């Protein structure tokens, strides 16, 4: 069937079925050269491969990331007898800036669908979210080329690194890269806070059935063990396989790393989880075999970065999993250079309290005018990148209702100047993940205190990173 006939058939349905209120619409334009998916390849300085997507190649010029399934459709199109769609889940992977240019065309950048990849990588990179990120990376690359008066292929490694640091500052995630920006004054501040959250033993706030299996994912604590509560209707054996990965997903738990099993008595059982040595410095994920009559206890509050769920359901729950000694939510995490969950939670989370605060303090006064806050809009929630109401169950992403409760809403910043403490910036009704606060003038201070007056629902403050700059001179 030709593409033209498919397009006209769909248009006929939209206009004439009476279901879309489109009877008075006209079709203005249809591409006359339908380029079938995967029928063109852009030949860039580097072609991203299947190996890069599945093995997470660590590129020195990684400029953005992907994470959608390798999502194959048959070459014959919708008339094919093959399955319409074969999806191989992948973890987050980096895409190098070299996929955005070719040395022979110094004034041309690629972005979106037409970046340089091999077919097996293209079927993952071509989704709208990844296309959007490639646009941000291309813009930063263009900025670098203009700044140093060079073509993309002739940029020096330190210039590429500067572009990557600029992307990081603008909240791009670059797997494994941390903030090294020498202009960020927060990096050499001592950090303290009003409190720090610690998951505590308590009664279950609910139960999550392991009848069809399930998982618990937790970053490996300093003391590589944890405790969790299960309930069994009758004596049973619970079995699980450990997996390790920098950031596991429900469909891609990472490398298998041994098994663990427990004998359960009828009723409630606190169990020890012993992280395997391979989990050190990354996530451990316990993937449970189906266990009829056994349920995992749920926590009253979310412990950021610790989740449970099932592979076939895109909804995560809050596991009552108590990690061993750890620094998961310590205040100093806000200057550890990483602004997302990756191997560790990398955030400060306060205890539940009124107006939690975090303080940066320097030995000598610093002059600044801008504060950047990298907040928590509940990054572990899976966001749909398509309308999939009629798709498979594991595709039915939950729609976000309202604002994420963890996100800071009303924030004020106070500075300790030679005249004492004074408020230098504030924001009410924030809806952004990256919140830029301007003091409106240069402020010289030895300490800076960020007060979370209100969130969109949580009684705790969540903050991944703080940066402090003097932007205007």
Ligand X SMILES: Cc1cc2nc3c(=O)[nH]c(=O)nc-3n(C[C@H](O)[C@H](O)[C@H](O)COP(=O)(O)OP(=O)(O)OC[C@H]3O[C@@H](n4cnc5c(N)ncnc54)[C@H](O)[C@@H]3O)c2cc1C
- Candidates 318, 292, 314, 308; CA nearest to 212 is 292
Give the tokens for residue 310: 């099932």
Among 7, 131, 204, 251, binds ligand X (CB under 6 A): 131
Q: Which residue is nearest to ligand X (CB)?
A: 112
The answer to whether residues 262 and 296 touch, using CB atoms and an 8 Å cutoff, is no
Q: In 409-426, which positions are buried (b, 16+ CB within 10 angstroms) versus exposed (e)?
A: bbbbbbbbeeeeeeebbe
Taking the complex as a whole, how short is the minimal distance between the CB of residue 372 and ligand X, in angstroms? 28
Taking the complex as a whole, how short is the minimal distance between the CB of residue 101 and ligand X, in angstroms? 16
Q: Which is nearer to ligand X, 133 or 240 (CB)?
A: 133
| Contacts of 276 by beta carbon, 8 Å cutoff, 6+ apart | 242, 244, 257, 258, 284
State yes or no: residue 385 binds ligand X (CB under 6 A): yes
Q: Which is nearer to ligand X, 66 or 305 (CB)?
A: 66
Among 56, 98, 102, 126, binds ligand X (CB under 6 A): 126
**Which residue stretch of 1-9, 124-132, 406-414, 431-439 sits at the interface with ligand X (rule: CB under 6 A)?**
124-132
Taking the complex as a whole, how short is the minimal distance between the CB of residue 415 and ligand X, in angstroms? 43
Q: Which is nearer to ligand X, 7 or 271 (CB)?
A: 7
**DSSP class of 185:** G
The answer to whether residues 45 and 102 touch, using CB atoms and an 8 Å cutoff, is yes
State yes or no: residue 243 binds ligand X (CB under 6 A): no
Give the tokens for residue 32: 């006359």
Distance CA 269, CA 153 (A): 60
Binding mask 97-116 for ligand X (x = CB under 6 A): ---------------xx---
State yes or no: residue 386 binds ligand X (CB under 6 A): yes
Among 6, 14, 127, 298, binds ligand X (CB under 6 A): 127
Chain CA centroid to CA 53, Å: 17
Taking the complex as a whole, how short is the minimal distance between the CB of residue 369 and ligand X, in angstroms? 36
State yes or no: residue 80 binds ligand X (CB under 6 A): no
**Which residue stretch of 49-57, 123-131, 237-245, 404-412 sits at the interface with ligand X (rule: CB under 6 A)?**
123-131
Q: Say how many residues touch ligand X, by CB under 6 A.
A: 8
- Candidates 86, 48, 88, 70; CA nearest to 124 is 70
Distance CA 274, CA 269 (A): 16
**Which residue stretch of 121-129, 162-170, 365-373, 446-454 sits at the interface with ligand X (rule: CB under 6 A)?**
121-129
- H/E run at residue 381: none
**Which residue stretch of 127-135, 242-250, 371-379, 406-414 sits at the interface with ligand X (rule: CB under 6 A)?**
127-135
Q: Which is nearer to ligand X, 105 or 362 (CB)?
A: 105
Q: Transcribe 81-131 into DSSP letters.
A: SS-S-EEE----EEEEGGGG--TT-TT----GGGS-B-HHHHHHHTSHHHH
Taking the complex as a whole, how short is the minimal distance between the CB of residue 201 and ligand X, in angstroms? 42
Q: Which is nearer to ligand X, 173 or 464 (CB)?
A: 173
The answer to whether residues 331 and 349 touch, using CB atoms and an 8 Å cutoff, is no
State yes or no: residue 84 binds ligand X (CB under 6 A): no
Q: In 137-161, which positions are buried (b, 16+ CB within 10 angstroms) versus exposed (e)?
A: bbebbbebbeeeeeebeebeeeebe
**Which residue stretch of 12-20, 88-96, 126-134, 137-145 sits at the interface with ligand X (rule: CB under 6 A)?**
126-134
Residues lying near ligand X in the complex (CB under 6 A):
112-113, 126-128, 131, 385-386
């Amino acid at each position: 069937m030709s593409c033209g006939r498919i397009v006209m058939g769909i248009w006929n349905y939209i206009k004439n079925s009476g279901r879309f209120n489109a009877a008075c619409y006209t079709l203005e334009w249809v591409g006359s050269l339908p380029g079938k998916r995967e029928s063109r390849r852009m030949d860039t300085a580097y072609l991203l491969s299947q190996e890069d997507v599945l093995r997470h190649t660590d590129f020195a010029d990684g400029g953005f990331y992907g994470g959608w399934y390798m999502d194959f459709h048959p070459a014959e199109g919708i008339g094919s007898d093959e399955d319409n769609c074969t999806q191989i889940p992948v973890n987050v992977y980096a895409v190098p800036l070299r996929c955005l240019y070719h040395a022979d065309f110094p004034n041309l950048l690629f972005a979106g669908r037409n970046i340089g990849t091999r077919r097996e990588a293209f079927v993952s990179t071509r989704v709208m979210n990844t296309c959007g990120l490639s646009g941000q990376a291309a813009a930063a690359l263009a900025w670098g080329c203009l700044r140093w008066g060079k073509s993309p292929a002739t940029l020096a490694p330190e210039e590429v690194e500067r572009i990557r640091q600029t992307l990081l500052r603008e909240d791009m995630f670059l797997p494994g890269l941390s903030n090294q920006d020498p202009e960020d004054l927060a990096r050499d501040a001592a950090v303290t806070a009003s409190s720090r959250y610690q998951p505590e033993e308590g009664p279950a706030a609910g139960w999550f059935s392991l009848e069809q299996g399930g998982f618990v994912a937790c970053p490996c604590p300093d003391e590589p063990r944890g405790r969790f509560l299960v309930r069994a209707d009758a004596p049973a054996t619970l079995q699980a396989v450990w997996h390790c990965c920098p950031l596991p997903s429900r469909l891609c738990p990472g490398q298998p790393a041994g098994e663990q099993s427990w004998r359960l008595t009828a009723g409630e059982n606190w169990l020890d989880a012993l992280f395997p040595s391979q989990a050190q410095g990354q996530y451990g994920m316990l993937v449970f075999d189906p266990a009829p009559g056994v349920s995992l206890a749920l926590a009253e509050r979310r412990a950021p970065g610790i989740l449970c769920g099932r592979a076939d359901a895109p909804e995560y729950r809050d596991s009552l999993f108590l990690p061993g000694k750890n620094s998961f939510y310590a205040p100093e995490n806000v200057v550890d250079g990483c602004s997302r969950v990756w191997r560790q939670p990398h955030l400060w989370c306060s205890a539940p309290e009124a107006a939690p605060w975090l303080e940066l303090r320097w030995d000598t006064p610093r002059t600044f005018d801008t504060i950047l806050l990298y907040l928590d809009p509940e990054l572990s929630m899976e966001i749909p990148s398509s309308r999939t109401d009629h798709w498979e169950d594991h595709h039915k992403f939950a729609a976000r209702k309202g604002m994420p409760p963890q996100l800071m809403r009303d924030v004020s910043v106070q500075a300790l100047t030679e005249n004492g403490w004074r408020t230098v910036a504030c924001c009410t009704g924030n809806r952004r993940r990256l919140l830029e606060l301007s003091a409106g003038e240069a402020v010289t201070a030895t300490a800076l205190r960020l007060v979370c007056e209100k969130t969109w629902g949580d009684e705790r403050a969540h903050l991944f990173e703080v940066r402090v700059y003097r932007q205007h001179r």
